[in-house]
Amino acid sequence: MELPRKILIGDGVISQVGSLVRSLGNVSKVAVITGKKVKERAGQACDASLYKSSLNVSWHVTSDASMATVDKLQCVIGNDPPDFVIGLGGGRSVDLAKMTAHQLGRPFLSLPTSASHDGISSPFVSIRGIDKPYSVKANTPIGVVADTWLLSQAPPRLMASGCGDLVAKITAVKDWELARDDRGEYFGSYAANLSYMSAKIILDESEKLRKKDQMSIRTVVEALISAGVAACIAGSSRPCSGAEHLFSHALEYIAGQDCGLHGERVGLGTIIMAKLHGLEWERIAEALKAMGAPTKAKQINLNESQVAKALSIAQSLRPDRYTILSKIRLDSKQALELAKSVRVV
């Protein structure tokens, strides 16, 4: 198992990122990968902390999360390799830094500025340009710094997306159980329970969490980190990713980049897969709605035919991963009827 060694959560903890990096090894040079807007918002505080700890810092501002960008970063950063790579930003920056660190063989620190998905603590990345239409394994973050004040400044939609990624663990775990029962696949009870617990808190406390204050942010971030750690323990994304994630990848394949955030798509997928599993899909939909996450395809610019096609092709994107869509094969007509039955379309 590869697990994060240190996790720091709290108000203003970005000021401690330099000392945390120092505590994690013999470090003198650090590369920070981020986006333009995030650097303007949080770069100064991060830079000041690293400078205070006498670390030499190089900043690398990117605009997209693709393997072409990873390759460019590898070339630029590789000319004078750092001892440490930091991903400062949302899902894209964290994934870029994680993959770049993996390619360079350097440790990686996750410094998220939004609570939008569980990749902040897991070894998995979703990068465009990889030949697989789903997440692949890279480096587990050696540390995570989650500044609740900084996270609370992110658009509310991003936290709602994180909640969508969390409720997805309900159907992901059910798919994992199904693979155990039908195919004899390894099933890790501890990892499954940890992941499920991360999802259940959204169902149980959605009304409280909708405030999106620092305490709510902390709860969601802790749940996202726990889900990521569950994947580390399992050694695969099984406890966090099932048919609902395949549906999300299929939507992105069909509709392109402008079809909502990752967590928004998997939230819709969770409602649908919960119905197939015989779970309380209405409760999941109510929790997502309370958090401000979409429960209808049209809210993220998707139409009926796109949803139906995504449901019918989702399993073909990863036939080796046994899910409820492996057991219940859907044609376009059945897929549309299913989506209508849960009011996603």
Spans of all domains in the chain: 6-152, 156-341
Query: What pLDDT shows up at residue 134?
Result: 65
Domains 6-152 and 156-341 share a fold: no
CATH code assigned to 156-341: 1.20.1090.10
Q: Please state, rounded to an integer, the average pLDDT across all residues of the chain.
A: 94
Given a cut of 90, whether residue 211 has pLDDT beyond it is no
Instruction: Report the candidate in 88, 84, 74, 18 with the shortest Cα–Cα distance to residue 50.
Output: 18
Given a cut of 80, whether residue 130 has pLDDT beyond it is no
Q: How confident is the model at residue 132 (pLDDT cuts 50, 70, 90)?
A: low
Query: What pLDDT shows up at residue 136?
Result: 84
Share of the chain above pLDDT 70, in %: 98
| Average pLDDT, integer, range 318-330 | 96
Given a cut of 90, whether residue 209 has pLDDT beyond it is no
Query: What pLDDT shows up at residue 207?
Result: 82
| Average pLDDT, integer, range 74-103 | 92
Share of the chain above pLDDT 90, in %: 85
Query: What pLDDT shows up at residue 248?
Result: 96
Listed in sequence order, the DSSP H helices in the chain are: 17-23, 36-38, 44-52, 67-78, 91-104, 148-152, 156-183, 189-209, 214-234, 243-255, 262-277, 281-290, 304-313, 324-327, 332-341
Given a cut of 80, whether residue 135 has pLDDT beyond it is no
Given a cut of 70, whether residue 119 has pLDDT beyond it is yes
Among 12-26, 211-225, 295-309, 322-336, where is mean pLDDT lowest?
211-225
Given a cut of 70, whether residue 316 has pLDDT beyond it is yes
Give the span between the Cα atoms of 248 and 266, in whole angstroms. 5
pTM of the model: 0.93
Q: Is 145 helix (H, G, I), strand (E, B) or coil?
A: strand
Asked if residue 42 lies in contact with residue 245, where contact means CB atoms within 8 angstroms, the answer is: no
Given a cut of 90, whether residue 303 has pLDDT beyond it is yes
| Average pLDDT, integer, range 160-172 | 96
Please provide residue 262's backbone torsions phi and psi, each rounded to the nearest 5 degrees: -50, -50
Per CATH, the architecture of 6-152 is what?
Answer: 3-Layer(aba) Sandwich (3.40)
